[in-house]
Structure 1
Amino acid sequence: MEDTPRPPVLAGLRRTYEGEPLLEADVAPDPIAQFTVWFEEAMAANLTEPNAMVLATASAGGRPSARTVLLKGYDERGFVFYTNYESRKGRDLAENPRASLLFPWHPIRRQVRVEGTVTRLSHEESAEYFTSRPYGSRIGAWASRQSAVVRSREELDARYQELAARWPDDPPVPDFWGGLRVTPVEVEFWQGQLDRMHDRLRYRRTGAEWTLERLAP
């Protein structure tokens, strides 16, 4: 009997992390204020799309799914992104309105992880953002039945051209498209350090207040 092949050891991908210490005394009293500090530093570091975040969802039956989406706004109410409500993530969140977000800012040795509940934005809020998008993106929102199987690229392109001919100037807001807000109950800030002794500070919602905790790396 042949030996079962072993997965390769990716020794060449090992790296050392070293960053400024992340100390309780140095962070903001609430996670949104602290996120603003780090987000501005990520933008100042010229990261490619610092607003890119991994969105993890689960169906009602517990089947997980993750994908990268773009943060389009945030404030004390939470973190906002836009999508087709009939997509897989949209269906997951309709069944199970909880999500996790991850901002992987690897070049500056930082990550931010958010867990929270999810609600839809009002039609007015979604419409305001939709009308600010480029024309092609607005037609694309109509043309793509996101996550549905299509027979070919040609079918998708033909659908786009059909809708562009129908609305050559100003397509309306689709009723199946809009914004979602993740209202955080936990926000964790991760700063890489030497010897895998990373700094992890977690804000946890307790009533109307936030509790700050240090987690073991």
Structure 2
Amino acid sequence: MSESTVSTGTLSSMRVSYEAGSLQEGLLADTWHEQLRIWFDEAVRSEVPEPNAMVLATADADGFPSSRTVLCKGFDERGVVFFTNYTSSKSHDLTATRVAAATFPWLTLQRQVNVRGTVEKVSSDETAEYWAVRPRGSQLGAWASPQSRVVTGRDALQSSLNGIERRFADAEKVPVPPHWGGWRIRPEAVEFWQGRPDRLHDRLRFRRNDERWSVERLAP
């Protein structure tokens, strides 16, 4: 039996019955961000690994998609925020299309939350506030890394970091790079997904129509 046959057979038999909970309309919070806070806090209490990790999906100007995992660093009624290099591939996509989607994959709770909407850069004050609590090493790395660009090797990155360390060796505080900051996804729709037996999952979506929000159930 070939290795590919074994792999395919193993994958086809992988199956989990989702029985951890349910999601009913009457138990939802009044707003999507309040419901996200409830589920996020439960993920933290349940010790889900990196509960603020979310899979960010973007597309370039030609519609070619990309996805990667980023860390959510804040959310409120305005939207969901993450930070990155403004010269990165994801930022080029966001600048070109002004839309994105992100999914929180809380697999151990048999839950996920999908946020979809338009994007905007956060204010310089918001960026500075978050930058101030980043570890110094992460701050230096943001200066050193030409994110998403081709480099000749790991040594090139280390050499760049060494140069940045020397540049700011006498600086008590490392300034925010001009090419770095936050993006906010302003939701048009937020779906809360709870796994259920027999693949009849609960899917409840907050959807915005102008400035009003409604809740609708989606078939699994």
Name the count of aligned residue pairs.
213
- Secondary structure (helix, strand or coil) at the match of 2:143 reads helix
- Runs of 5+ consecutive residues of structure 2 not aligned to the other structure: none
Q: Structure 1 residue runs of 4+, over 3 Å off?
A: none
1:144-159 alignment runs, 5 A limit: 144-159=145-160
CA drift at 1:201: 0.4
The code of the aligned residue for 2:145 comes to S
Alpha-carbon distance, 1:160 to partner: 0.2
Segments of structure 1 that go 5 or more residues without pairing to the other structure are none
Deviation larger for 189-198 or 15-24:
15-24
Code of the aligned partner of 2:112: Q
Matched, 1:189 2:192: yes
Q: State the match for 1:177 in structure 2.
A: 180
What is the one-letter code of the residue matched to 2:81? V
Which of 204, 208, 214 aligns to 2:207? It is 204
AA partner of residue 26 (structure 1): L
Q: Tell me how large the CA RMSD over aligned residues is.
A: 1.3
**Equivalent AA in structure 1 for residue 150 of structure 2:** V
When the two structures are superposed, what TM-score results if normalisation uses the length of structure 2? 0.94
Q: Give the TM-score of the pair, scaled to structure 1.
A: 0.95
2:63 counterpart SS class:
coil
Instruction: Give the deviation of 1:12 after TM superposition.
Output: 3.6
Match of 1:79 in 2: 80
CA distance in 2, matches of 1:155, 1:83: 21
Whole-angstrom CA distance in 2 between matches of 1:162 and 1:141 = 13
Percent of aligned pairs with the same amino acid:
50
SS of residue matched to 2:21: coil
Q: Per-residue displacement from partner, 1:178-203 (whole Å, max 9, x unpaired)?
A: 01100101000000000001000011
- Name the structure 1 match of 2:16: 15
1:94 counterpart residue number:
95
Query: Structure 2 CA distance, aligned partners of 1:159 and 1:131?
Result: 22
**Whole-angstrom distance in 2 between the partners of 1:124 and 1:201:** 34
Corresponding residue of 1:133: 134
